[in-house]
Amino acid sequence: MLRVAINGYGRIGRLAHRVILERFTKDIDLVAVNAGSSTDIKGWMYLLKYDTAYGTLKNNLSIKEEGKGIGKLIVDGKPIEFFAIKEPKELPWEDLNIDVVIESTGHFETEAGLKMHLEAGARAVVLSAPVKEGDINTYVWSVNGGKYQGEKIISNASCTTNCIAPVAKVMVDYFGVEKAMMSTIHGYTSDQRLQDGGHKDYRRARAASQNIVPTSTGATIAASKALPELEGIFTGLAFRVPVVVGSLSDFTFVTKKNTT
């Protein structure tokens, strides 16, 4: 059984936990979570149990305020160590015999940052976002997942990339693509302000629940890393809209072959 840890327990980290509970309990042993210090172990249990978008988790949850970190979350009788450690290299992955770390903090998206998990004793790292810097391969299931060569650090790209890349691959394989553009209508994220407030991007400074916010997206670049045929010919933009979850992507393709 694969021994897994999650670093970052926000939207992506908690949903990864839910997916493990719903689909992979026979294959994955979630051993530890580095959740951060924005709340305590009781708060993290509450956020896992009650999700505005995805409903109430049916599993039985309890806590023990003891352990190696900030406490243990008990899920259906199984303990999971919780930590609030800022630097990945200080995490006890070696002591916990961690096979794979799911990196979902949004802060460690470079090769140097991801390598800190290996330095801490993890055997492999999967980044839940596009790589910002470094020689890290990107894999998207049903696009190039079969080409995985056992690298210790990989990127699984972003949610939008996982939406657009499989569709783009069909177009590349069957028709050929000369040029492509996409726009994604995307639910707002925690990087935006719920009320008007300071932000380096003035558009994201506006109240997320009341505005349609045009912004950039790195999904087309990440898709091109998984599907090299799109490199240099695929562009896109994003609109953040007032929904808590759910997105769609719209494409325009100029094909090399006739489609009818």
Cα–Cα distance measured from residue 140 to residue 157, given in angstroms and rounded to the nearest whole number: 7
pLDDT score for 7: 98
Residue 80 CB neighbours (<10 A):
19
- The residue behind tokens 């090399």 is 256
Do the domains spanning 2-128 and 159-255 agree at the CATH topology level? no
Q: Hey, what are 180's tokens?
A: 């492509």
pLDDT score for 217: 87
pLDDT score for 195: 94
Select from 193, 203, 189 the least CA-distant residue to 160. Answer: 189
Known catalytic residues are 159
pLDDT score for 112: 95
For the chain, the structural domain boundaries read: 2-128, 159-255
Phi, psi of 35 (to 5 degrees): -95, -25
pLDDT score for 9: 97
Per-residue pLDDT for the chain (260 aa), expressed as one digit of tens each? Answer: 999 999 999 999 999 999 999 999 999 999 999 998 899 999 999 999 999 999 999 999 999 987 789 999 999 999 999 999 999 999 999 999 999 999 999 899 999 999 999 999 999 999 999 999 888 999 999 999 999 999 999 999 999 999 999 999 999 999 999 999 999 999 998 889 999 999 999 999 999 999 999 998 889 999 999 999 999 999 999 999 999 998 999 999 999 998 87
Angle ∠(48,109,198) on CA atoms, nearest 5 = 75
pLDDT score for 65: 83
pTM over 0.85: yes
pLDDT score for 81: 97
Report the CATH architecture of 2-128.
3-Layer(aba) Sandwich (3.40)
Cα–Cα distance measured from residue 48 to residue 6, given in angstroms and rounded to the nearest whole number: 13
Say if CB 73 and CB 21 are below 8 A apart. no
Superfamily for the 159-255 domain: Dihydrodipicolinate Reductase; domain 2 (3.30.360.10)
